[in-house]
Structure 1
């Protein structure tokens, strides 16, 4: 398993990491993702670790804490230095006035609760799950820095930030000498390339590595969705389609057609090709893969150990190209001053 530095940090992470959104299955939304229990989780972690995948990603809201609890229990008995844990907080986790956001009050309680559920003394990578515009950024950053100095957190990241959210945070961290964000857990896929417009150039400039979530386009690039065919009965899109990133059907089919052509050339599956494409993009440190079962996990692990040819990458780039929003389309017209990050 290839390892890369996580942004401008000394932490090395595997290019594939394992997401635990399928653990627990509490509530209709997460039940549609999966219902992995502790016994199955142990089996999946064994397979992942054997393949060199030792970074496990979770969040407090996944099945309302159950995913973290199952992950913590499944990891018991393994040397703590043999794996890395990343988790997230910011979303509402209770009915109280202070049980949401990135305030000092909420973050301190969230981190302690996650540590307890995970059964560990520290979290290797802690990420804000989203931007909190109601809390001063200085309050958030100083709190996270305190948690790093206390040894509860090792590295910091964010998720789903806008470019200015991230850049302002990095500037304030540098100005005050606080721990800086080294990772951005962002949505990025062959059918969701908005990340390339501003967040990728920012990541290159500031040393922020991408931790890619939903690399298969919210379950649309599994190889089971094609033009003229009904949605498979087992697809979670029956429940979660409206909650994920929107995708025009004809655009999706155009990308899948290109993936099918390359699958025929390479003998690889559609998901493996989609994941491999991501692993060749700038700033990408690790791609979070999920799996409801052993078969899905082993298939996703087959995305490494080989590379698409430049011609195949160009084919996928062309099939998935979209018109950019302003000012990005304007900037793209002046490549000598604004070269493409890819």
Structure 2
């Protein structure tokens, strides 16, 4: 299976680890009732060759479920963990949590829930421009120095803040962001699905290309837009209509539907392959609900699209 080599830091030395381009998302592992399904998905994901799991302090009891699964399967040394912190709480959704104290509290709580002393990747789940990048980058660098985190990144940050953070890190000999996790798919969003989210735009994609920084895409299949369940005259799902219904996306769907039979795959698989065939390292967090969806995603991850096909799907040719 194709792998992507991503940077890690250990005892102040940089090295790379192999990460599968498909990352299993745990955003639906929210409650105890999700545990059995989560175990089945985690087992199936590993059996198919996956090695990386995405989670967050904000995802209910997802970290606890993953930590329990790792303990039961005794496979922590074979799994790459990406978790996130710094998200406002459900009780106080307008209060940002990017102070050094809040970030430390979130990371330590995540490590305890995951039953591990270290995560390979740690990302800030939201941004707060009122907090200077100096405070943030010093605290994240400390996590790396302490051996609690292998690499740091951001999720839902604007490009100018990413640039400012890495410039400050470079000038002050601190650990920089080495990955970024925005929303990214073939479908163009009319607006972000959730408050505080950032969708990769042309500026951000160019930044990834110029700096060879891996992009970890959430909602890589446009929340099912390419599944065939939706059409311009089907307005039943208000969120889908508000976020994804536009003329450009219907044209992209038609092009995906044209290419899919040639490659013997579905339109959803074409959409996922689009994300994974960018001119920079790209990975996709998949929110599979069952084993069949996992198998379809892994097949899509093996597709090689030409640069011309990628541009054509995105209406650039």
**TM-score bracket relative to the smaller structure:** 0.7 to 0.9
Name the counterpart of 2:192: none
Alpha-carbon distance between aligned partners in 1 of 2:90 and 2:135, rounded to the nearest angstrom:
21
TM-score of the two chains, using structure 2 as the length reference: 0.86
- 2:294 aligned with 1:297, yes or no? yes
Match of 1:67 among 62, 67, 84: 62
Q: Post-superposition shift, 1:101?
A: 2.1
Does the alignment pair 1:308 with 2:313?
Answer: no
Deviation, 1:229, is: 4.6
CA–CA distance in structure 2, aligned partners of residues 36 and 284 of structure 1: 36
The secondary structure found in structure 2 opposite 1:47 is: helix
Determine the C-alpha separation between the residues in 2 that align with 1:99 and 1:314. 40
Find the aligned partners of 2:74 and 2:280 in 1 and give their Cα distance: 31
**In structure 2, do the counterparts of structure 1 residues 102 and 3 end up closer, same or farther at CA, with 3 Å as the change threshold?**
same
Residue 160 of structure 2 is aligned to residue 154 of structure 1: no
Does residue 248 of structure 1 match 2:254? no
Partner residue in 2 for 1:335: none
- Find the counterpart in structure 2 of residue 135 from structure 1: 131
User: In structure 2, what is the equivalent of residue 12 of structure 1?
Assistant: 18
Shift in alpha-carbon separation, 1:207–1:256, aligned structure 2, 3 A: closer
Give the Cα–Cα distance (whole angstroms) in 1 for the partners of residues 143 and 137 of structure 2.
10
Tell me the number of residue pairs that the alignment of Structure 1 and Structure 2 aligns. Answer: 301
- What is the alpha-carbon distance in structure 1 between the residues aligned to residue 263 and residue 210 of structure 2? 34
The equivalent of 1:44 in structure 2 is: 41
CA separation in 1, counterparts of 2:86 and 2:104? 11
Q: Does the Cα contact within 8 Å between 1:182 and 1:208 map onto a contact in 2?
A: yes
Query: Which residue of structure 2 aligns with residue 3 of structure 1?
Result: 3
- 1:14-163 aligned at under 5 Å gives the runs 14-24=20-30, 37-63=34-60, 66-76=61-71, 77-93=73-89, 95=91, 100-163=96-159
Within the candidate set 282, 288, 291, 2:279 is matched to: 282
Which residue of structure 1 aligns with residue 228 of structure 2?
A: 223
Q: Distance in 2 between matches of 1:221 and 1:124?
A: 32
Task: Name 2:195's counterpart in structure 1.
Answer: none
Indicate the residue corresponding to 1:257 in structure 2.
Answer: 254
Residues 277-328 of structure 1 deviation map (CA, whole Å, 9 limit, x = unaligned):
111112233111111122222221221223235554343122xx59xxxxxx
Q: Any idea what SS the aligned residue of 1:198 has?
A: helix
> What are structure 2's unaligned runs of at least 5 residues?
9-14, 190-198
Aligned with 2:223: secondary structure?
A: coil
Contact 1:127 1:159 in 2 (8 A): yes
Shift of 1:5: 2.2
For residue 79 of structure 1, report the CA deviation from its aligned partner.
Answer: 2.5
Which residue number in structure 2 is paired with residue 214 of structure 1? 219
Separation of aligned partners in 1, 2:277 and 2:255: 17
> SS at 2:157's partner residue?
coil
Greater alpha carbon shift after TM alignment, 77-86 vs 167-176: 77-86
Which position in structure 1 is the counterpart of 2:194?
none
User: Using the alignment, how far apart are the partners of 2:66 and 2:150 within structure 1?
Assistant: 19
Distance 1:310 1:199 in 2: 19
